[in-house]
Structure 1
Amino acid sequence: MKPILTIGIPTCDDQRALWFTLIDLQRTRRDLGLTDQVEILVISQSAKETHIKAEREHVAEIQNARYLHLPEPQGAGPAKQAVFDHATGNAVCCIDSHVILDTGVLARLVAFAATIDDGLYFGPNLRRRLINADGKPAIVGTHYLPRYGGNGNWGDWATHPSADNPHAAPFEINSCGTGCFVAKRETFLGFHAGVRGHGGIEPYIPQKYRQAGRSVKCLPWLRWIHLYGYSDGSPYKGFAWSVKARNDLLGFAELGYPSFQMIQSNYTAPGRLSLDRFTEIAREVGALDRLQQMPAPAALQAAPAAIPDSDHRRLIIGVLSADNEQARYRDKREAIRQTWGKDLPEDVELVFLVGRPDLVALPDKRGDMLLLPCPDDYQHLTEKTIWFCRWLVANRKFSRVLKCDDDTYVHVQRILGRDRMTADYVGTPTPQRVAAGRPFETASGGAGYLLSPRAVSIVAASEPTKEWQEDVHVAQVLHAAGINLTKSRQFHAGKQTIPGPDNQQVTAHYVTPERMREIYLQLGCLNINRDKHIVIS
């Protein structure tokens, strides 16, 4: 009898964990009468003879189970690919050798396997306590956010709100950990043949399915428990940064995903690879050739050449703010409108940058507010800045851009009058950013920094990463493009020194709305009448 489902288990010198996974599957098949319908296939890359012997013995005693040993360890991708190459079931559920399926999952898998389509399916990863104090399932995550985590691996776990209900409808996801996934055997699209060691599969295989027009979904009932951490160290190899970077760059060379900037930012972070080594690997695998062939992102498709010359701005100022009901943000914006942002020259434009993903899919300017399709919180400042730059490239002609915070005082005329501020990237360096061991200097985002059209286009083409400090992200992508910070003491990251008649200061940071009005008055630009109304003298 041909099995309906193959449970494929890649393993490597992990025979103790494998034993528990096998016994749990064998017991469940026996209790449900599914032994003939569910095949077990173990793909081993173990190098230790003691483990190989134990693995063979484990599998030999289990009915409808097979064991295949690969001649040498090649990594997660080749082992999972071998599962599909040697399986016989209509569908394949590939699980790591330290994964156990939750109660009831195997029976649903068999029914699902009989009519599975050409999609790629994942499920919620459960914590070992299985259930929370409130009675809801303890879920690690249902999918990955499409970015690198702090450990340098692809994906940050996130949980869909419907995952508490195992009967909820499947939902689309970007990607997920491959500790447990399901696909139809005959139409499986396959991992990249060049991948070795760790990495290169989590962002790759979902994107390959999407580009083929297929679905990538989470099944709320496909719940699994994963062993995290080994007291005596992980038995798995291939975690070198150069190996993982090569794997992701192979994926980029084929699929153009993740973005080159995102991969580079992750693997050239402090303590990982030098930019020269990363570039060498990218050239070897053809990633640089793919990068040159890629079109601009969709948000950059509008041609700046179509913008009339009459709309050219000498300076555009983007002020990071927030669009919520907290009065402090409204007060800050109003203080700017009443002081340094009032009566600007016609060729200077001021926009407040706020996130409103509920309202817009692309940046949309409404009055002096630029609504951006990203979350409106501190952790997404990098995305705000990237979307601001994309809007600039698509909709404006300009000579310079200043990006600052909504508690920054800006002396606009001094920026316009300083010919020396014509470099690509100008600002005051932030000491703590340099102390963090980065090979580049970072301009203070709060004090403000100036960008040229060239620098804006580079930031616009980048992708957000785990790095939520937007000033670090900007410095990093510019450094990778050969642009380093031109230091200027006229930008000030503190409130101790402010623009005044006796200095040439351009900005001051951490300025309250009240202090902003005081500075404006001290500069001789403001009179306050008896009724406390602001008038220009």
Structure 2
Amino acid sequence: MSKVTLGMSTYDDFDGVYFSCQGNRLLHPILDLDGEIIVIDNNPNSSHGAATKHFCNKSKFIKYIPFTKYQGTAVRSELFNYSKSEIVICIDSHVLLAPGAIDAVVKYLSLEQTDSPILVQGPRLYDNLSHCSLKWLNIWSATMLGKWAPTIPVDTIGNEAFEIENQGLGAFACRRKEWLGLNPLFRGFGGEEGYIQRKYQLAGGKVVCIPEFKWIHRFDRPNGIPYRCNLKDRLFNYFLGAFELKLSTDSIVENFRALLSDFHVRAIFKEALKAYNKSKTDSSLKLDNSGEN
């Protein structure tokens, strides 16, 4: 068993996958010495998919997994089913981890012995590399429940891990056996931030920010977003997550009524509730929250 898996899911982002894999291998020798990289391709039959498969299959350190059972950013949860490592670090397919980041995660999770699940996150670096955001604030920002905390200089964040409530999911980590899972009925993009952190907290666990676990994310997409990304899917995910975690939907309704008609908000509420109720009786849709994947 390897010590650590670096995993990512992708949808028509060959360039991102290439540089995320190669850049992180160059920056983090542990990936070749005692680790593996897993790439889950959510659109393997495209030209990007073919290029990604060809690239991954040239390296003994990278495992390529085509996956078409469902589509959306929640596919990243499947990484924990394919990994054989003790620790899994999940990144977007266009993220670089700062030098020392992986070693810091491995050290923290190896030393922090507890029966409660821990989700590890880190500061998001800005493109100037001198400033970062340590967390998301739990407030609505247009279509997302979460807003980057004010930027601060990197050299002011200290060295000690500390608890946070929320953070973007461009990079996160946990022990494989402690992964609590994203709802497999999530679709498209959005609704995962805040949901997965709250899930750990409700399970008696915690979300921590490790200052050394810094990551930088490519946001610009000059060729456009290739995957399905719309407000109705995002609202569905927020409702579904709230039903699963038994949280109030009041703030969700209030926020999206400014973006969609009352008719659509009510219809999506009913659709998500129906899907949630079905998931409670359909074993193929149930989450395995034991962490033993």
TM-score over 0.5 for the pair: yes
Asked if 1:83 corresponds to 2:72, the answer is no
The CA deviation at 1:6 is 0.5
**Structure 1: distance between partners of 2:31 and 2:42:** 28
Which residue of the partner structure matches residue 251 of structure 1? 241
The CA deviation at 1:48 is 5.0
| 1:120/1:217 contact within 8 Å kept | yes
Paired residue secondary structure (2:32): coil
**Structure 2: distance between partners of 1:113 and 1:24:** 24
Paired residue secondary structure (1:183): strand
**Structure 2: distance between partners of 1:104 and 1:235:** 32
Which residue of the partner structure matches residue 218 of structure 1? 209
Aligned in 2, Cα 1:96/1:283: closer, same or farther, shift over 3 Å?
A: same
Which residue of the partner structure matches residue 379 of structure 1? none
Letter in 1 for 2:266: T
**Structure 1: distance between partners of 2:69 and 2:222:** 25
| 2:40/2:79 contact within 8 Å kept | yes
Within-5 A mapping of 1:4-23: 4-23=3-22
Residue in structure 2 matching 1:261, options 242, 246, 250: 250
Letter in 2 for 1:74: Q
**Structure 2: distance between partners of 1:232 and 1:54:** 17
Q: What TM-score comes out, normalization by structure 1 length?
A: 0.48
Which residue of the partner structure matches residue 271 of structure 2? 284
| 1:99/1:179 contact within 8 Å kept | yes
The CA deviation at 1:283 is 2.2
**Structure 1: distance between partners of 2:102 and 2:253:** 40
| 2:8/2:93 contact within 8 Å kept | yes
Which residue of the partner structure matches residue 95 of structure 1? 91
Paired residue secondary structure (1:68): strand
Paired residue secondary structure (1:154): strand
Paired residue secondary structure (1:217): strand
Within-5 A mapping of 1:99-138: 99-115=95-111, 118-131=117-130, 138=131
**Structure 2: distance between partners of 1:37 and 1:5:** 7
Aligned in 2, Cα 1:45/1:189: closer, same or farther, shift over 3 Å?
A: same
Aligned in 2, Cα 1:160/1:210: closer, same or farther, shift over 3 Å?
A: farther
Structure 1 unmatched runs, 5+ = 132-137, 291-537
Which residue of the partner structure matches residue 361 of structure 1? none
- For residues 224-262 of structure 1, the C-alpha deviation after alignment (integer angstroms, 9 at most, x for no partner) is 00001111212232x2211110100001111133x4221
| 1:167/1:221 contact within 8 Å kept | no
**Structure 2: distance between partners of 1:53 and 1:100:** 23
Letter in 2 for 1:256: K
**Structure 2: distance between partners of 1:28 and 1:163:** 19
- For residues 267-313 of structure 1, the C-alpha deviation after alignment (integer angstroms, 9 at most, x for no partner) is 111xx3211221122123229x99xxxxxxxxxxxxxxxxxxxxxxx
**Structure 2: distance between partners of 1:231 and 1:278:** 31
The CA deviation at 1:49 is 2.4
Paired residue secondary structure (1:128): coil
Which residue of the partner structure matches residue 335 of structure 1? none
Asked if 1:145 corresponds to 2:145, the answer is no
- For residues 324-365 of structure 1, the C-alpha deviation after alignment (integer angstroms, 9 at most, x for no partner) is xxxxxxxxxxxxxxxxxxxxxxxxxxxxxxxxxxxxxxxxxx
The CA deviation at 1:22 is 1.0
**Structure 1: distance between partners of 2:157 and 2:79:** 27
Residue in structure 2 matching 1:35, options 28, 32, 35: 32
| 2:118/2:178 contact within 8 Å kept | no
**Structure 2: distance between partners of 1:171 and 1:160:** 17
Residue in structure 2 matching 1:184, options 172, 175, 197: 175
Between 193-202 and 112-121, the greater mean CA deviation after superposition = 112-121
Asked if 1:46 corresponds to 2:43, the answer is yes
The CA deviation at 1:166 is 5.8
Aligned in 2, Cα 1:160/1:232: closer, same or farther, shift over 3 Å?
A: closer
Aligned in 2, Cα 1:161/1:26: closer, same or farther, shift over 3 Å?
A: closer
> RCO (CA 8 Å, sep 6+): is it higher in 1 or 2?
2
Letter in 2 for 1:201: E
Paired residue secondary structure (2:126): strand
The CA deviation at 1:26 is 2.3
Aligned CA-pair RMSD:
2.3
**Structure 2: distance between partners of 1:203 and 1:125:** 16
Aligned in 2, Cα 1:130/1:92: closer, same or farther, shift over 3 Å?
A: same
Paired residue secondary structure (2:179): coil
Aligned in 2, Cα 1:219/1:91: closer, same or farther, shift over 3 Å?
A: same
Which residue of the partner structure matches residue 25 of structure 1? 24
| 1:46/1:73 contact within 8 Å kept | no
Q: What TM-score comes out, normalization by structure 2 length?
A: 0.86
- For residues 417-442 of structure 1, the C-alpha deviation after alignment (integer angstroms, 9 at most, x for no partner) is xxxxxxxxxxxxxxxxxxxxxxxxxx
